[in-house]
Structure 1
Amino acid sequence: MNAAKHDLTPVLVAIFILIGAAILWYWSKLSSSLPPGPVHLPIVGYLPFLGPNLLTHFTNMAHSYGPIFKIWLGSKLHIVINTPELARTVVRDQDETFANRSITIAASIITYGGQDIAWSNNNSSWRNLRKILVHEVLSNKNREACSSFRRDEVRKTIKNVYSKMGTEICIKEISFSMITNVLTRMVWGKNSHLGVELQMVVLKIVEMLGKPNLSDFFPFLIWFDLQGVERETKRHFKNLDRVFTSIIDDRIKLNSEGLDVAVGHEGKKDLLQILLELKDQKDATSLDITKIKALLTDIMVAGTETTTSVIEWAMTEIMQNPNVMKRVQEELAEIVGPNNIVEESHLSKLKYLDATVKETLRLHPIVPLLVPRSPSQTCTVGGYTIPKGCTVFVNVWAIHRDPRYWDNPLEFNPERFLTCDGMDKLYDFKGNNLKFFPFGSGRRICPGVPLVEKMQIYILASLLHSFDWSLPKGEEHDFSDMFSLALKKTKPLIAIPSQRLPDVSLYM
């Protein structure tokens, strides 16, 4: 027996040497075919060298290393795409290959292990959930059925602002509250006593999603949770889950008592009712309570954060540019009139305001690197090897500011979207034009775009038609931003409204 073991030793050593040599050869060959990138340190990679302004840093790196480059952050490989041509390869030509997500620890916790739409991998469950959202919640018919909700909440906000005229108002707070109320009424038909608590929890969750976490870059640190991100995220997630559980349990109880729950003038069922009925069908929809909660999380977190940020950035840019403010209000005076309030029927005619929102999203895309993708198999982009499972960023922020595609790219100029007929279709939010795609493109494009587009125009039009806005005395506009996953203003916009319409009854 011992002799047999002794005889096997050289064979085992030879096998291990061959395996080691094969691994070294593979990584040597792979490294030589990867995109170029900066020198990195062992273990920590390039993390110590990242500047505080990540977007500017990445854009400057593209000038040094080319339109596609790699960086090692901790033990994880990241690829950054910086041109429309290469972006097309990722989000259109090889869309299915790049349709998986690179999910963070915080996102995994909040989305019940990636069972939602935003962070789920490309699988049958994701496709089914997205189909339900698009067809049951965001269809033209359902958006129209919920128009009264939007009108009610906008009018409540205008009345609230009127009662505080001459005082300082946080644009982010009033926008967030308004949008949350609209979404809660769409989802479960009415504002509940849990609405205020839900707003607070959503704000905390958005904060956790954007907080850098060392454990995302060094998986061996997950057990230690050195920054407490996992622990704190679980605490906020528990509160969110409790709110959703309470709402769902109340609805199930009402259903068991034989009470019909419907909203809208045509008896349109709210989203929660639709989802619960689909769950009970036990067919190909494969819905359960966990997936319903994950979908509700997407709606309440992504839906509020996206629109709120667009409104705050747009108001900041409009107030900074008096000529833009003048043109927006002249258009509102022409289309809406001084003796009327903004209705959704006016929105399609507000071409200059639409261009102003697009210019805002060009300079301040809300998710400037898009939600990170991860290839499901090793592939090639721009002649370079992109390994399976790495993280891929598409630098929309850099593309939107590239002088090769935009004249005077750092200037806020809504007219650039109005230079000729058809510009509204050339630069829409559908992700077909990869010089301008603030909501992404391909199968992972944000499904909420139709609702976001309508809400952001409606709210801005109402605020700018009803009031003149100015900064508090001695204050100057602050355009500093902070980026993690989303791009937000570092300092919230505080503005003072004054009456603009002659008829006081229009504010009631």
Structure 2
Amino acid sequence: MAPFLSQETFVLFTMSPADFFIVLLLFGALFCFIRLCPSISSTIHKTSQKRPPGPLGLPLIGHLHMLGELPHRTLNKLSQVYGPIMSLRLGSVPTIIVSSPAAAELFLKTHDTVFASRPRSQASDYLWYGTKAMAFTENGAYWRSVRKFCTLELLSSTKINSMEGLRREALLVLVDKLKRAATTHEVVDVSEELAHLTEDMTFRMLLGKTRDEKVGLSQVIQELAEIVGAFNIADYVPFLGALDLQGFTRRLRVIGKTADNILEAIVDDHIQAANKSNAKLDRDFVDVILSLENNLTGIHGHLAQNIDRSSIKAIILDMIFGAIDTSQTAIEWIMSELIRHPRVMKLVQQEIRNVIGDYEFVEESHLSKLDYLDMVVKESMRLHPVGPLLIPRESLEDIVIDGYYIKKDSRIIVNTWSIGRDPRIWSENVEEFLPERFIGSNIDLRGKSFELMPFGSGRRGCPAMYLGQINIKLVVAQLVHSFNWELPFGMSPEELDMDEAFGLTMPRAKHLLATPSLRHG
């Protein structure tokens, strides 16, 4: 996800305003000198090809000062002035902002191979062991081998369907807990419970065990999402990285060490279990990836020949991070919108009752029959995309797109939040939560409909989109089937705070609190 900083934090830089102004003046003078030097200027302007339009930037920092606290909203406003393919300069990095379905299709489908790589970042280097996982890794043979491995060994439909029982067990634990809360009219921190649920589901599927509360993994994941999504000046003005003006390097070291300790324990536990004579017969994802060291010529031979302990930990972290943070955020927004719109909630509950009859629990086989629930999920993801800005891509070569010249190593950021709020696509009631707008529509969530692509699209689309949709729909269906939900303290639906926070994902700014009550038919 695109790394950005809130305006408030950016202005501080841990410097006084006077010191910061002096630094800007010095670099501004240096910038002007370079522009006046004919030999350098001719190199800078070696091409006269048309660039995408964009606002004027400042020396050194470019347009970083314009991003604000919620960059997806700021970029949306700018795109309304400069168009769906807009050019910015973030520090020294040329950046293209894409804000329409047609433009997104050009970058993510028509010319997908040119934009199939990822830019490196300090966060991914620190936290993913030199970018050895999948989501943030540069294009190449290693990335392809990791993606192939994760898809076949965890994210294929066959593997996912085989783990249905594990997901059900985790969900039933939450339902039982909520039933107890319902009998005492207890206010539930829905956001926190969803974090625990998605963590438990992930642990069961990846690690073959239930969530260990002592590990505190959900807290680590939340901090990871925040710091990976935050703007780090070292990524855009590299020579300032050594100064650590924002303290990000120190934070990365601390959270990286915490995450590494957890991952080391996970790997050691699996190695010890495998060495025992009574080792388990049913291998989980970590068991499979550890077995690669003894299978250099199999279907995953390329990965096996290039993997080490750091790579193993990076891949495990990638899978845990992607599974927990995205599903939790999506479910949180859907439940928020359902509570705000009792009419829609009742329609979802009625549909579920019509499909499953007197069954107490929703099965995954029921999900394909819940058409209105599917529309609710789409509408929520339109208004609240898990990633408002898709993880940036990087151009592998110079190219002309829609008449605009885009140089090699440019950063490409697709603003899905902007696309989801475009009245030219969704009509003038674009701000309204209205699932019925999808009646008769062929728009899906698989990345082929560029009007709605919460999981991305093309080569770098999320390979876990099938698992993500199952988790999201199953949890929402069960929570609204088993319980009615009301806001606490006499709060009306209109009073629910729907402010968002910005990071790698876009969670609610404040936790969702609600009171469940048991449904009786």
Give the TM-score taking structure 1 as reference length: 0.89
The one-letter amino acid paired with 1:239 is T
Greater Cα offset, 286-295 or 486-495 = 286-295
| Match of residue 120 from structure 1 | 137
Q: Is this contact kept in 1: 2:360–2:482, CA < 8 A? A: no
- The 3-state SS of whatever aligns with 1:100 is coil
The one-letter amino acid paired with 1:412 is F
| Match of residue 483 from structure 1 | 502
The one-letter amino acid paired with 1:99 is A
Q: Is this contact kept in 1: 2:226–2:503, CA < 8 A? A: no
Q: Within the alignment, does 1:98 sit opposite 2:112 as a pair? A: no
- The 3-state SS of whatever aligns with 1:482 is coil
Residue 53 (structure 2) aligned to one of 36, 46, 69: 36
- The 3-state SS of whatever aligns with 1:101 is coil
- The 3-state SS of whatever aligns with 2:345 is helix
| Match of residue 409 from structure 1 | 430
- Counterpart-to-counterpart distance in 2, 1:492 and 1:196: 22
Q: Deviation of residue 348 (structure 1)?
A: 1.3
Q: Is this contact kept in 2: 1:81–1:394, CA < 8 A? A: yes
Q: Within the alignment, does 1:319 sit opposite 2:335 as a pair? A: no
Higher Cα Rg, which structure: 1
| Match of residue 329 from structure 1 | 349
Q: Write the mapping of 1:287-306 to structure 2, written as runs, cut at 5 A.
A: 287-306=307-326
- The 3-state SS of whatever aligns with 2:337 is helix
| Match of residue 369 from structure 2 | 349
- Counterpart-to-counterpart distance in 2, 1:491 and 1:388: 40
The one-letter amino acid paired with 1:471 is L
Q: Is this contact kept in 1: 2:227–2:503, CA < 8 A? A: no
| Match of residue 95 from structure 2 | 78
User: Per-residue displacement from partner, 1:239-278 (whole Å, max 9, x unpaired)?
Assistant: 2111111221222222223333233xxxxx2111111112
| Match of residue 506 from structure 1 | none
Task: Pick closer, same or farther for the CA change 1:304–1:60 going to 2, 3 Å.
Answer: same
- Counterpart-to-counterpart distance in 2, 1:392 and 1:148: 40
Q: Is this contact kept in 2: 1:98–1:375, CA < 8 A? A: yes
The one-letter amino acid paired with 2:362 is V
Q: Deviation of residue 501 (structure 1)?
A: 3.2
The one-letter amino acid paired with 1:237 is G
- The 3-state SS of whatever aligns with 2:244 is coil
Q: Is this contact kept in 2: 1:261–1:273, CA < 8 A? A: no
Residue 41 (structure 2) aligned to one of 12, 24, 34: 24
User: Per-residue displacement from partner, 1:404-437 (whole Å, max 9, x unpaired)?
Assistant: 221222221111222x2xx4xx222221111111
Q: Within the alignment, does 1:152 sit opposite 2:169 as a pair? A: yes
Report the aligned-residue RMSD: 1.9
Q: Within the alignment, does 1:218 sit opposite 2:237 as a pair? A: yes
| Match of residue 385 from structure 1 | 405
- Counterpart-to-counterpart distance in 2, 1:196 and 1:495: 27
The one-letter amino acid paired with 1:56 is R
Residue 397 (structure 1) aligned to one of 394, 399, 417: 417
Q: Write the mapping of 1:237-386 to structure 2, written as runs, cut at 5 A.
A: 237-263=256-282, 269-282=283-296, 283-285=301-303, 286=305, 287-386=307-406
Q: Is this contact kept in 1: 2:117–2:393, CA < 8 A? A: yes
The one-letter amino acid paired with 1:90 is F
Q: Is this contact kept in 2: 1:105–1:216, CA < 8 A? A: yes
Greater Cα offset, 288-297 or 23-32 = 23-32
Task: Pick closer, same or farther for the CA change 1:209–1:31 going to 2, 3 Å.
Answer: farther
Aligned length: 474
| Match of residue 483 from structure 2 | 467
Greater Cα offset, 29-38 or 305-314 = 29-38
The one-letter amino acid paired with 2:316 is L
Q: Is this contact kept in 2: 1:338–1:501, CA < 8 A? A: no
- Counterpart-to-counterpart distance in 2, 1:447 and 1:211: 24
Q: Deviation of residue 58 (structure 1)?
A: 1.1
Task: Pick closer, same or farther for the CA change 1:192–1:364 going to 2, 3 Å.
Answer: closer
Q: Deviation of residue 338 (structure 1)?
A: 4.5
- Counterpart-to-counterpart distance in 1, 2:216 and 2:346: 38
- The 3-state SS of whatever aligns with 1:70 is strand
Q: Deviation of residue 441 (structure 1)?
A: 0.5
Q: Deviation of residue 95 (structure 1)?
A: 0.9
- The 3-state SS of whatever aligns with 1:237 is helix
- Counterpart-to-counterpart distance in 1, 2:157 and 2:79: 41
